[in-house]
Structure 1
Amino acid sequence: MSRPAAAVRTSGTGDHRVTAAERATRTDAADALCIGAYDAAGGPDSGVALVAVGGYGRGELAPYSDLDVVLVAEEGVEDTLGEERWTTLASQVWYPLWDSGAKLDHAVRTLPEMLTAAEGDVRVASGLLDVRHVAGDHSVALRLRTTTLTHWRRQARERLPELRELVRGRHRLVGELAHLSLPDVKEAEGGLRDATVLKSLTATWMVDVPAADLERCRQQLLDVRDLLHEAAGRASDRIAPEHWGPLAEGLGLPDEAAAQRYVRELGRRVTHLSRLAWRRTDDALRRTPAARPRRPDLQRVAPGVALSRGEVVLEAGAKPASDPVLLLRAAAEAAVRDVVLAPPTAARLVRECPPLPEPWPDEARQQLVRLLAAGPGLLPVWETLDETGALDRILPEWERIRLLPHASPIHRFTVDRHVVETCVEASALIRDVSRPDVLAVAALLHDIGKGELTEHSVAGVPIARAIATRMGFGPREVDLIGQLVRWHLLLADIATTRDPDDPGTIDTLLEHVDSLDALALLTALTEADAKAASPKAWSSWRAGLVLDLSRRARAALERGSVPPAFTVEEIPIPAGVADGEPSIVVEPVGDGSRVTVVALDRVGLLADVAAVFALRRVTVRAARMWSQGDFAVSVWDVGESGLDPGALRDQLDAITSRRLDPASRLAARHTPDGLDPAVVVRPEASDQATVIEVRAADRLGVVHLVSAALAALDMTVRSAHISTLGPQAVDVFYVQEVAAGALSETRAAEAARAVRRAISAS
């Protein structure tokens, strides 16, 4: 099928008339092709129809779309046309279409078969709402459409829960358009598929969706898909990095960043409309038709605020013009009750409520905290505030992070959505802290400095302090919020990259967190921030490290002293180790294993054990090693369960006896990444050992390479701590002389050079 060239766009304002005309032209061309094929095949004028479904049925063909067509016949067509004629008719229609180069998705059904298929599959039923006559008998297509629509409305209460589960499953599988690194404009939450589902919902007459707003977003997403097909040169719904430039040009936008924001904004708007519609659908399904009141039943829930049919609205006598706190009060009530904040209500409050005085009155601050601490009910209410412009009134700084992508791939969401998710996670932890209000606001503001050239935890402090002051917090609370914003990454960084038994580790933490209240707040914020980022950021291993460090720091604050360095608990030496047979014991721990290795002490033992894990592709999270007389004990936390101790022992024996060269095996497996490793000595991190920090692209074998390089210098690794989030690993090694403590400055520089050479050469 021929494709007209895409017209040049002159603006990104959402004017879709040119592209809509192109889609109409493509549809007309496809119709002419199908009509010609049907007529050439001698298709009858009565009893049979060629119909279009899906995007073709809606007249929304993209440049490389398939033609979804069905040959539909009245029941008994075989008797009317003859079985042989009916059997050959379909192929006579399809072959000319294939010969034209069109991609075809086709089927042959009788009318009863179509209706039966719709009864058995809610996706078929929803899709047939868009059926359109192309050729043949108009009455067949009309009857199919009207019958399907009648059944859809009659059976809505039974079919919509099934459709709801399908939608949820797709969202879980694909993700959300506004946040995906490779957005799928069709299948993702907030994409074209959701927009089509919303049309199916409104067809039930059970729920209403802002039709003009939905259609505008839908047409703009169709524009994006058309341009994407042109850029990719094929049928594609996923936007790869190289497509953003052509999209920006086609949409008339200044750069790729503007194109990303434009597409994500559309996705977020459709997501908001979809969530709102499904909440209203769920509410309608809970009510029986007989129980539905003829007029709204207003239940007063707060001054000026009422509840009606599962939505927060205004009381009849509410006076927004004289109540600056009414917007926050209504939002807090909706979030706490986990119900809809009616968008018209929010929009009216934005128009009519006077600005909040500065500093805010106590009630305004209290209502904001109620809103932020509401839990899962916060997200849909916050979306409504965002969509109606209310956040510009409450928090004008929100625009700094709105739809801002995270630089780290570990994050599931854009910065603004991550912040809201952090508030949701923090709401479950407010009983662990003495100032839940400070925790809630710090969760909201912890990433407010993102997007600046300087480190965001530094850039965010003056912004957060100014906001907290405007909200009416006192000087102590303002200082505490600023402290949490500045150091919200500190606890996790130290816990995952420093030796917990070294007193310098806790000293580093307590330099910046000097009170029990601040420590409890920082611990809760760290957990909420990590959980909101991704499950990987708060694995049981990482959680254990963070919470244990927090516990030890709390004990240090309470006692005024820190535990001794390198506390070890001597273990019984297993039989046979004295004869040169190493002992390996594997214990399940959380989402991984703890492997204890006991062997005759020697330089290089740690490197050999690390090589065993690297060769078996087992991720090492942390390792500790100490001496007990003539024996060495090492304890390894690894990210794999079900390890076979016998297999580990055999491989260690092969490496120790030099029957197996781990260096050559690991070098063969390594794919160069183009990133030079950074090796830095951290003299301030410990008085007991020399801390060497290695930053490199994530890969197996780093512990082995570093340990082997140090062993060659007659140095030993007392502990190693491996932290990997996204593509970069931060590995920290506590190094000592074999018969002494920390390295001299000269030896430390020598060690750093050796480590850098070992990693770079590999």
Structure 2
Amino acid sequence: MVVGGELAKAANRLLEGRHGRLGASALRAALVDLYEFWLSKAAAAAGVDTAEPGVALVAVGGLGRRELVPFSDLDLVLVHNQHPGIAEIADALWYPLWDARIGLDHSVRTPGEALQVASEDLRTAMGLLDARHIAGDAELTGRLATAARDQWRRTARKRLPELAESTRQRWQRSGEIAQSAEPDLKYGRGGLRDLGVLEALAVAQLTDRPGEELRQARELLLDVRTEMRRELRRDRDVLSGVDAELVAAELGFGDRFTLARKLSGAGRAVGYAVDVALRATAEVPRGRFSRRPSRTPLDDGVVLHGNEVALARDAVPAKDPALLLRVAAASARTRTPISHGTLRTLADSAPELRTPWPPDARDSLTELLGAGEGLIDAVEALDRTGLWARLFPEWGAVRDLPPREPVHEWTVDRHLVQTAVEAAKLTTTVSRPDLLLLAALLHDIGKGREADHSELGAAISLQVARRIGLPDSDAALVSAAVRHHLLLVHTATRRDIEEPSTVARVAKTVDNDVVLLELLHALTQADSLATGPGMWTDWKAGLVANLVNRCRQVVQGKGFSPPEPLDSRRRELVASAVASGRSEVLITHDGKMATVVVAAPARTDLLAPAAGVLALHSLEVHTAVLRGHDTGRAGIFTASPKFGSLPDPALLREQFARAVAGGLALEAKLAAKERDYQPTRVSAKPKVLWFDDETSGPNTVVLELRATDRIGLLYRVAGALQSCGAEVKWAKVATLGAAVVDSFAVSPRGGKLDPAWRQRVEQAVLAAAA
């Protein structure tokens, strides 16, 4: 027989291909045959044979599945029926393998002991599903394998939470295969361990057997792992860029970039399948009297059904082009997956968004991009079902595109999404968060082609911005941000920023536009953070900030503009309110977008009551303008219902009047509403900026608040200003996705406009926005 050392030599000869190099699949089959031959001979010599019933050698793991890759441990179980000499048999089997330095994961158990361990240890339970007879009592092996599968089928549903948690913890430790520059082929999300999870769920008859797409993904992952280990001559599961070059050549992929794209696609298919399977199996009703999952409204036509985002019963996808984006935004905002059925319905029924997109679709896109970490899974769900490509046909050029630079942690498409995630944390640093988020998503969209990716990306982003309906001036800003997204970091780290000519050149490049300068500053940080660890250091941040501050001094731009004067119809409404001494309300609407004008005498507090009533009815304020006229003032609000239809105008008028008169308990009502419905938002620290304003009169200054939107935010901020004795002469509010940029021209009532007053106001406003 072949002893342990000779077994190792025989395995090496297979790896070296002395008798002809075997392909990856053939090599695995040859290794399985070699080890089975040796183990059967060794088992017979040790006393494990059919002449001695009650002892069997069983393979699990890679050998059990006939998927043995080079330098894998052997997973073996010596099963017995209380055999008195089992210790001696085990020693005779294990020691030659140890002497040959062959990795061994072994156990010696009775069938009862094996099943008991499987009932307590999830890894053992799943391992026994691969049990395959090697030597000895085949009937004993068969009984154990059958009993293990029966036990798994009986208990799998109870163990699903444990399985899901262990799977997600593994993903957290090992990262993803899809879109990763150095994927972990075994343990990463979308890897071989996940295929084992799918097989286990299928054995438990909770899901169907993996289909052809997943079978091909398994073959690719196994082939890459096999060739990598053959080339490296050691056990390794993480594929580096250097190793990928060798593996790609052996597998006939031409270069590592082609291989990386294939691997990313395979990992996405497997990862998505596992995610769907875990959700689907976790939500199967437990009995005929089980309570149905609740349906909580999230947006117009969108509900939270159980723990998935789904379509409302009255939603009509075929007549609602923006529904797709509202579903995605709700999923990203709440960090809740979209149901598979909803994705199928949208893929089959959702109409194309025509150019230009309607405003509500554009707003939902901004909300989606500003949702933070939830954006990643939402985009992946849309991408897997072809819906993301409908929104952005240009995405195909960068989908699964591996990075050319070794510092990048992700594929290009994932890097773009990750940059938007980082940009969402910086929305309060810019006056146009909507443009920042779109530029973040598109800044590398020109990669993967024979052209300067910044110039090509600028042209593509201009096309996208116009398609989604941005005005020409905004589309040009997005295009410029993409064109110059490397300007600040390259200048700050490669040029002398103390030199006036350097600063002047940057200011000229950004066309002396302070808004573009802000966008580039935030985009530079987001891009670096999304590239990989250590790419955004304090040193680099300091250099870029210094350059931006010097450019700002040159540009000297203003960050706000006061609202337009009232038109004749609204001036008449103000005159009527002054004459009657009570508030007057005018409500008009175009579809679900309502314009509410509230007029009152000059000294009446108007902003907080009106904002409170709108929030109470789940009306999302898109813009709000407060303007004075003669001895009165008017607030003009554009708002739309977050879900459902517009409230009864008569009810709104009655509640506005009560709120302005102080007869409506808005504070308590809004607090209760926030407890019941407050979507998860990305954390962006609120920021206050001050601007001197000579146009609004003496003793007046403009406060600009940049913050993350939340229920009743405008109401609380208005209350904070009032509590500090700040008279609001005019206000201009803009809600841009999940962020707001609110400007208030304020002056101290009977006080002095000094630094101490400004500090009190700023602290109160920041506390209200936190």
Q: TM-score, normalised by structure 2?
A: 0.61
Distance 1:57 1:241, change over 3 A: same
Q: Which residue of 1 aligns with 2:123?
A: 123
Q: Answer with 309-318 or 23-32: which moved more.
A: 23-32
Shift of 1:363: 2.4
Shift of 1:91: 3.1
Counterpart selection for 2:310 from 293, 313, 318: 313
Q: Which residue of 2 aligns with 1:67?
A: 74
Task: Letter of the 1:341 partner, please give it.
Answer: I
Query: In structure 2, what is the Cα distance between the partners aligned to 1:92 and 1:67?
Result: 16
Q: Deviations over 1:718-740 (max 9, x none)?
A: xxxxxxxxxxxxxxxxxxxxxxx
Q: Deviations over 1:552-573 (max 9, x none)?
A: 443443389xxxxxxxxxxxxx
Query: In structure 1, what is the Cα distance between the partners aligned to 2:44 and 2:286?
Result: 48
Q: Secondary structure at the match of 1:537?
A: coil
The answer (yes or no) to whether the contact 1:72–1:110 under 8 Å persists in 2 is yes
1:415 and 2:420 aligned: no
Query: In structure 1, what is the Cα distance between the partners aligned to 2:178 and 2:245?
Result: 18
Distance 1:548 1:203, change over 3 A: farther
Shift of 1:237: 3.5
Q: Which residue of 2 aligns with 1:464?
A: 461
Counterpart selection for 2:399 from 399, 402, 409: 402
Query: In structure 2, what is the Cα distance between the partners aligned to 1:424 and 1:547?
Result: 21
Q: Deviations over 1:566-613 (max 9, x none)?
A: xxxxxxxxxxxxxxxxxxxxxxxxxxxxxxxxxxxxxxxxxxxxxxxx
Shift of 1:97: 6.8
Task: Letter of the 2:273 partner, please give it.
Answer: L
Shift of 1:203: 5.7
Q: Which residue of 1 aligns with 2:40?
A: 35
Q: Secondary structure at the match of 2:352?
A: coil
Q: Which residue of 2 aligns with 1:195?
A: 195
The answer (yes or no) to whether the contact 2:244–2:259 under 8 Å persists in 1 is yes
> Matches of residues 261-300 of structure 1 in structure 2 within 5 Å?
261-277=261-277, 293=290, 299=296
Distance 1:539 1:200, change over 3 A: farther
Query: In structure 2, what is the Cα distance between the partners aligned to 1:429 and 1:276?
Result: 32
Query: In structure 1, what is the Cα distance between the partners aligned to 2:426 and 2:241?
Result: 38
Q: Which residue of 2 aligns with 1:546?
A: 544
1:46 and 2:53 aligned: yes
Q: Deviations over 1:618-641 (max 9, x none)?
A: xxxxxxxxxxxxxxxxxxxxxxxx
1:219 and 2:219 aligned: yes
Counterpart selection for 1:494 from 491, 495, 504: 491
Unaligned runs of 5+ in 1: 7-17, 561-762
> Matches of residues 15-414 of structure 1 in structure 2 within 5 Å?
27=32, 30-43=35-48, 45-62=52-69, 65-74=72-81, 77=82, 81-82=83-84, 85-94=85-94, 104-111=104-111, 113-115=113-115, 117-118=117-118, 121-138=121-138, 140-142=140-142, 144-145=144-145, 167=167, 170-200=170-200, 213-232=213-232, 236-239=236-239, 244=244, 247-248=247-248, 251=251, 253=253, 255-277=255-277, 293=290, 299=296, 301-316=298-313, 318-414=315-411
1:529 and 2:527 aligned: yes
Shift of 1:25: 6.4
The answer (yes or no) to whether the contact 1:327–1:350 under 8 Å persists in 2 is no
Task: Letter of the 1:525 partner, please give it.
Answer: L
Shift of 1:125: 3.9
The answer (yes or no) to whether the contact 1:37–1:93 under 8 Å persists in 2 is yes
Q: Deviations over 1:422-459 (max 9, x none)?
A: 11111222233222221111111111122234432222
Query: In structure 1, what is the Cα distance between the partners aligned to 2:220 and 2:306?
Result: 32
The answer (yes or no) to whether the contact 1:52–1:131 under 8 Å persists in 2 is yes
Shift of 1:311: 1.9
Distance 1:500 1:203, change over 3 A: farther
The answer (yes or no) to whether the contact 2:241–2:256 under 8 Å persists in 1 is no
Distance 1:23 1:391, change over 3 A: same
Q: Secondary structure at the match of 1:219?
A: helix
Shift of 1:296: 6.5
The answer (yes or no) to whether the contact 1:334–1:377 under 8 Å persists in 2 is yes
Distance 1:102 1:524, change over 3 A: closer
Distance 1:177 1:329, change over 3 A: same
Shift of 1:520: 2.2
The answer (yes or no) to whether the contact 1:208–1:277 under 8 Å persists in 2 is no
Query: In structure 1, what is the Cα distance between the partners aligned to 2:155 and 2:291?
Result: 23
The answer (yes or no) to whether the contact 1:209–1:277 under 8 Å persists in 2 is no
Shift of 1:477: 0.4
Distance 1:206 1:435, change over 3 A: farther
Q: Which residue of 2 aligns with 1:443?
A: 440
Shift of 1:183: 3.7
Q: Which residue of 1 aligns with 2:612?
A: none
Task: Letter of the 1:527 partner, please give it.
Answer: Q
Distance 1:239 1:500, change over 3 A: closer
Query: In structure 1, what is the Cα distance between the partners aligned to 2:481 and 2:288?
Result: 50
Distance 1:319 1:241, change over 3 A: same
Query: In structure 1, what is the Cα distance between the partners aligned to 2:202 and 2:543?
Result: 50
Query: In structure 2, what is the Cα distance between the partners aligned to 1:162 and 1:459?
Result: 48
Q: Secondary structure at the match of 1:399?
A: helix
Query: In structure 1, what is the Cα distance between the partners aligned to 2:291 and 2:210?
Result: 22
Query: In structure 1, what is the Cα distance between the partners aligned to 2:175 and 2:87?
Result: 43
Query: In structure 1, what is the Cα distance between the partners aligned to 2:348 and 2:163?
Result: 37
Shift of 1:120: 6.1
Q: Secondary structure at the match of 1:341?
A: coil
Distance 1:325 1:217, change over 3 A: same
Shift of 1:215: 3.9
Q: Secondary structure at the match of 2:534?
A: helix
Query: In structure 2, what is the Cα distance between the partners aligned to 1:240 and 1:521?
Result: 34
Q: Which has the higher contact order (CA 8 A, sep 6+)?
A: 2
Shift of 1:261: 1.5
Query: In structure 2, what is the Cα distance between the partners aligned to 1:70 and 1:335?
Result: 46
Q: Deviations over 1:291-348 (max 9, x none)?
A: 9847666555444444323222334554433333332232222222221123443244
Shift of 1:487: 1.5
Task: Letter of the 1:40 partner, please give it.
Answer: A
Distance 1:28 1:455, change over 3 A: same
Distance 1:416 1:311, change over 3 A: same
Shift of 1:378: 0.8
Q: Which residue of 1 aligns with 2:631?
A: none
Query: In structure 1, what is the Cα distance between the partners aligned to 2:372 and 2:205?
Result: 32
Distance 1:100 1:438, change over 3 A: closer
Distance 1:496 1:95, change over 3 A: closer
